[in-house]
Amino acid sequence: MSELKHWSPADQIALLFALLFGLLLLITAGGVLYRLKNPVEELAINPRSARAQFQRDLNASWVGALLFWLAWISGPAGSTILFGLFSFFCLREFITLQHTTRSDHRTLIAAFFIVLPLQYIVVANRRFDLFTVLIPVYAFLAIPVISALSGDPKRFLERNAKIQWGIMVCIYGLSHAPALLLLEFPRYAGKGAFLLFFLVTVVSVAQIVQEVVSRSVRSLPTVRAISRSFSRRAWWSGALAGAFVGALLYWVTPFKAGQAFVMAFIAAASGTLGALVMKAMKREAGIHYWGNRSGITGAVGLLDRVAALCFAAPIFFHSVRWYFKLSV
Amino acid sequence: MRLADLMGPFLGFLARAITGAQGHWLGCPPSNEQRIYIANHQSHFDLVLIWAALPSELRAKTRAIAARDYWTKGKFKTWLTTDVFNTVYVSRTRANPDEDPLEPLVEALKQGDSLIIFPEGTRSNKGEPMPFKAGIYHLAEQFPNVQIIPTWIDNVQRVMPKGEVVPVPILCTVTFGTPTQIQPGEEKKAFLERTRAEVTALKPGGWKQ
């Protein structure tokens, strides 16, 4: 382990990817073997079964790992474009299920073709002072102004809130992932990928543990109307599991073990709570997954996979900045 | 290679990037049998969307119907409908009473082409399609072996409402239903109403309207 410290950051990151993909391959191979052993499993057909949930979680992990790897090998410009595209597809899914009207047309054009590229251009140029305020300050004034100029007062506040939420989650939240890659920390140069890896791992572990606990431990759902599986106990298990994994991974981060535990807890807790918020939105829209299986939208369900990250990334990002005492 | 040969795939790519343009073959698999797709019509984007949802091998032999008076106005529109999409023009107004407006369609079907028809005749924005025009009945009568595929294009009115130029990225689907034909002894009115109901029935539900 002490030898590893002398490796260059690039080599350390290469080793990290080798471990990550090796682990995923092992789990996938295990899943395939399980399916071979139990070939006729009727549960597999039911999209709400544990087996289907496991498959979804595994797919999500693959997507996350590949995304992370692509972001790393393609450098700052590549990772910015990549996450920009993901933002675009997520926002497209989000807006599809919100019932925007004809008078929202210009507002949506501004969201997709002005706010989104602008935010990612600012990230690519590492203008972190502007990056944190561009959407909450400037875009959130501009969007309702464009809506007002469309001259339709019907459900004005509701329509604006929906679009602003879409921007907040799908653009602002997700753009913090490449920001983590690009942010230079003192004594921690070139290792931004470790922070993103730390974040993604901790959030995924928290989600998976929460899911497993809610299935295996009987406890009262806290908010039955929104989620049957969300309970206080499951949430605490998930967040703490994420925190423990984070503490175990402290050596890839600039933190000490105890600090890594706290940081991981913050990320895991905000990620799982964010997923609950997205679930509430899905309930309002009357669907079960963003990319609905019955083929309503034809989406791939990307938003389902990155929703927790959208919430965890900004909180984690600012906690890290605070830790390094970087001025805003 | 002509510019038009590139324009088609480019528009298809654009349609997929903006709307997903997912084809759902619920009632039949995609096939190169001769077919008439009858679809609801809400936007000019419909044609590109249904075309992008078809497998690329079928696109060359599947021709949409375009109104001659609108789509031959101006060079670009003519080029788009002739060279890129190879549409069949149909006159909405008759020059003389003896002219059969279905003539070009019959001609295309005789050549073995498949057709995309919007039987409402114009774009509607009420959600429900308007009553179907009688043209498809006469075609179905003359070509009993051609399958009629009810098709529903969903969400496209949100992508580009009438009067707007820039499309907004919103996911759209094209749902293809079960092939149908004129039932034995079926009257024109009954056929038009039944096919309209079959098209409407393909509208995806599942979330709050």
Residues of chain B neighbouring A295 (CB-CB closer than 8 A): 22, 24, 173, 175, 204
Q: Which token pair is A301? A: 């369900």
User: Distance from B52 to chain A by nearest Cα, in Å?
Assistant: 14
Mutate to test the interface with A, among B49, B168, B175 (most CBs of A within 10 A): B168
User: Per residue in A229-251, pLDDT tens?
Assistant: 788 888 999 999 999 999 998 88
Q: pLDDT band at A220, cuts 50/70/90?
A: confident
Cβ(A115)–Cβ(A170) below 8 Å: no
What integer pLDDT is reported at residue A63 of this predicted model? 76
What integer pLDDT is reported at residue A122 of this predicted model? 93
pLDDT, average across residues A11-34: 84
Cβ(A164)–Cβ(A137) below 8 Å: no
Q: pLDDT band at B205, cuts 50/70/90?
A: low
* Residues β-bridged to residue B3: none
> Is A114 touching B (CB cutoff 8 A)?
no
Out of A99, A102, A296, closest to residue B206 by CB: A296
Place of tokens 């905000």: A270
What integer pLDDT is reported at residue A87 of this predicted model? 92
Out of B20, B175, B209, closest to residue A299 by CB: B20
User: Per residue in A174-197, pLDDT tens?
Assistant: 999 888 888 777 766 667 778 888
> Is A283 touching B (CB cutoff 8 A)?
no
Q: pLDDT band at A68, cuts 50/70/90?
A: confident
What phi, psi does B13 have (nearest 5°)? -65, -45
pLDDT, average across residues B63-76: 85
According to DSSP, residue A121 is labeled H
* Residues β-bridged to residue B37: B116, B149
- Find the radius of gyration of the CA atoms of chain A: 20
Q: Tell me the pLDDT of chain B averaged across its residues.
A: 84
What integer pLDDT is reported at residue A49 of this predicted model? 64
User: Distance from B13 to chain A by nearest Cα, in Å?
Assistant: 15
Out of B161, B166, B206, closest to residue A102 by CB: B161
According to DSSP, residue B87 is labeled P
What integer pLDDT is reported at residue A311 of this predicted model? 94
User: Per residue in A88-125, pLDDT tens?
Assistant: 989 988 888 887 888 889 999 999 999 999 999 999 88
Residues of chain A neighbouring B164 (CB-CB closer than 8 A): 105
Cα separation values, A64 from A184, A240, A307, B146, Å = 23, 21, 12, 47
Q: pLDDT band at A4, cuts 50/70/90?
A: low
Cβ(A255)–Cβ(A230) below 8 Å: no
Cβ(A64)–Cβ(A305) below 8 Å: yes
Q: Which chain B residue has its CA at the smallest distance from A100's CA?
A: B158
Q: Which residue has the higher pLDDT, B60 or A157?
A: A157
Cβ(B171)–Cβ(A299) below 8 Å: yes
Q: Which residue has the higher pLDDT, A157 or A305?
A: A157
What integer pLDDT is reported at residue A292 of this predicted model? 43
User: Distance from B193 to chain A by nearest Cα, in Å?
Assistant: 25
Residue A328 has pLDDT above 50, yes or no: no
Out of B171, B204, B208, closest to residue A286 by CB: B208
Q: Give the integer Cα–Cα distance in Å for A133 and A143.
A: 15
Residues of chain B neighbouring A109 (CB-CB closer than 8 A): 166, 168
Residue A47 has pLDDT above 70, yes or no: no
Query: β-strands B147-154, B35-39: how paired?
Result: parallel
Query: β-strands B22-25, B62-67: how paired?
Result: unpaired
Residues of chain B neighbouring A95 (CB-CB closer than 8 A): 168-170
Cβ(A274)–Cβ(A310) below 8 Å: yes
pLDDT, average across residues A55-63: 75
| Positive/negative CA dihedral, B136, B139, B141, B143 | negative
Which amino acid would we find at residue B174? V
According to DSSP, residue A290 is labeled S
User: Per residue in A72-89, pLDDT tens?
Assistant: 787 778 888 888 988 998
User: Distance from A89 to chain B by nearest Cα, in Å?
Assistant: 9
User: Hey, are the CB atoms on A285 and B164 less than 8 Å from each other?
Assistant: no
Question: What percent of chain B has a predicted confidence (pLDDT) above 70?
Answer: 93
| Cβ burial, residue A289 (10 Å; 0-12/13-18/19+) | middle
Q: Could you give the count of Cα atoms lying within 13 Å of A54 in the half-sphere of its Cβ?
A: 16
> Is A158 touching B (CB cutoff 8 A)?
no
User: Distance from B108 to chain A by nearest Cα, in Å?
Assistant: 32
What integer pLDDT is reported at residue A267 of this predicted model? 94
Q: Give the integer Cα–Cα distance in Å for B145 and A225.
A: 52
A55-74 burial, b at 16+ Cβ within 10 Å, e below that, comes to ebbbebbbebbebbbebbee
Q: Which of A250, A197, A267 is nearest to A14 (CA)?
A: A197
Q: pLDDT band at B206, cuts 50/70/90?
A: very low
| Cβ burial, residue A112 (10 Å; 0-12/13-18/19+) | buried
User: Hey, are the CB atoms on A105 and B172 less than 8 Å from each other?
Assistant: no
User: Per residue in B149-185, pLDDT tens?
Assistant: 999 988 888 888 777 888 888 888 888 999 998 888 8
Cβ(B62)–Cβ(B54) below 8 Å: yes
* Lowest-confidence pick of A195-199, A291-295, B17-21, B122-126: A291-295
Domains and CATH numbers, chain B: 3-201 (3.40.1130.10)
